[in-house]
Amino acid sequence: MDQTQPTWIKDPLSILAEGAERGVVVQGGKIVELVGRGKEPTAISPLVFDAGEHVVLPGLINTHHHFYQTLTRALPAALDRELFPWLKALYPVWAKLTPESLQLGVTVAMSELLLSGCTTTTDHHYVFPAGLEEAVDIEVAVAKRLGLRVLLTRGSMNLSVRDGGLPPDSVVQDEDTILADSARVVAKHHERGEDAMVQIALAPCSPFSVTTSLMQKTAELADKLDVRLHTHLAETEDENRFCEQMHRCRPLDYLEQCGWLNGRTWLAHGIHFNAGEIKRLGKAGTSISHCACSNQVLASGCCPVCEMEEAGVGIGLGVDGSASNDGSNLMQEVRAAFLVQRARYGVDRVSHKDALRWATKGSAACVGRPELGEIAVGKAADLALFKLDELRFSGHGDPLAALVLCGAHRADRVMVGGNWAVIDGAIPGLDVTDLIRRHTAAAHAMQAG
């Protein structure tokens, strides 16, 4: 797509923006004009994309994932288990990851996300068996090939079973190795500025898989390198009990002691915080990634989203790992978040627009990218376009509501930075049949024995 020439996304069926009834004009990777009802673009001779059959959203933003877990979906040994026994069942399988299997797992996850209308995604990769030292580099290469905007986190674990943690010895690394590679991947891959396509954050896995020293030194390194911090926190009551036993305090207290309770940090799950802790999160500017599907599959609980937002806590959405979801579809996650929070709080407090906001503007704030997640002049030209021509939408009234209530799951067009990354429901140049064949073979090889 010619970035120098303006393109008018013309006359959408509906659009999640005020004053853009006739669409938007994009140029140079940015939204340069909103075209209101009865108006014409001021741009001279724009190219035209007829969006008359499309509902246009800001590109969805995924704030928590584990790409490699697409290789262990619906694994029999991990079915019907809560988090800790689920992890114990899966760690030995994940220890068999190779560069080739990771590349396939990442390609599947990113492709699923793109096809669901996701334009920016995070990933939390924390498993580094021997031979997989360049995992983040592999992820960067796939993202560039697919044209997806990413915030990849250099995860870590250095507390194995022999030290009182959960992971096996074969997937953890020592502190010096972790910190050195964290600095390496930031120096090599992290881009700054509003047009950044690849960014890096630092992400020790959880309080039960890393040492206090690593938590503290990672926070210091993130501050020095000016990158964001991410980890799992308050996902289960087991985690609370572990922290109280191991560290003599609750998880949020531990986080604060380690220098993490600040605006640089966003946390996955955030289910089991008390009222006082929620206020502290809001005051600190720490955000939460709500992972509705994963939380329900593992029966972990339900994130208290409304109380958090009332306390000033930013909320984004995350699909979480494809071994607990078991998918990578962010549009389906929007519906799941809407349903679980509507059931919790009632019709007066949660609407379909809230769920869409969490996945767009909320998620953008969660990962420190305010130039994303909104259809407005000056924002990035990241857009997701959905058709309502499937049987599930027949007879719909409100098109935006239909996306959520009727269960949209596949975008027809996806634009990232002004470029079409999905066209007619497909990723250009991607042989999906071959990808499924190779990915399935890699998954079965890992799961064997």
Query: 265 in a domain, yes or no?
Result: yes
Cβ-in-10-Å burial (0-12, 13-18, 19+) of 433 comes to: exposed
pLDDT per residue over 397-430, tens digit each? 999 999 999 999 999 999 999 999 999 999 999 9
Query: 318 in a domain, yes or no?
Result: yes
> What is the average pLDDT across 334-346?
98
Query: 306 in a domain, yes or no?
Result: yes
- Structural domain harbouring 226: 60-366
The single-letter code of the amino acid at 32 is: V
pLDDT per residue over 24-76, tens digit each? 999 999 999 999 999 999 988 899 999 999 999 999 999 999 999 999 999 99
Query: 239 in a domain, yes or no?
Result: yes
User: Are 54 and 408 within 8 A, CB to CB?
Assistant: no
Query: 294 in a domain, yes or no?
Result: yes
Give the chain's domain count: 1
Per-residue pLDDT at 1: 66
How would you list the strands of the sheet with 54-58, edge to edge? 14-15, 54-58, 383-387, 413-416, 419-422
| C-alpha separations of 232 from 130, 138, 252 in Å | 24, 23, 11
> Whole-angstrom Cα distance, residue 175 to residue 414?
40
Query: 398 in a domain, yes or no?
Result: no
User: Are 207 and 241 within 8 A, CB to CB?
Assistant: no
Query: 319 in a domain, yes or no?
Result: yes
> Whole-angstrom Cα distance, residue 37 to residue 23?
9
Percent of the chain with pLDDT over 70: 99
> What is the average pLDDT across 176-183?
98
pTM: predicted TM-score of the whole model, two decimal places: 0.97
Q: Which of 362, 356, 350, 315 lies closest to 335 in space, CA to CA?
A: 356
> Whole-angstrom Cα distance, residue 338 to residue 407?
11
Asked whether the bond before 424 is cis by omega within 30 degrees of 0, the reply is no
Query: 236 in a domain, yes or no?
Result: yes
Q: Which of 64, 140, 66 lies closest to 97 in space, CA to CA?
A: 66
> What CATH number should be reported for the domain holding residue 302?
3.20.20.140
pLDDT per residue over 360-383, tens digit each? 999 999 999 999 999 999 999 999
Q: Which of 83, 65, 79, 80 lies closest to 237 in space, CA to CA?
A: 83
**In the Cβ-directed half-sphere of 108, how many Cα atoms lie within 13 Å?**
29
Run of H or E residues at 365: helix 363-366
First vs last C-alpha separation in the chain: 48
How would you list the strands of the sheet with 23-27, edge to edge? 30-34, 23-27, 7-10, 47-50
pLDDT per residue over 317-333, tens digit each? 999 998 888 999 999 99
> What is the average pLDDT across 76-100?
93
pLDDT per residue over 138-176, tens digit each? 999 999 999 999 999 999 999 988 887 778 888 999 999
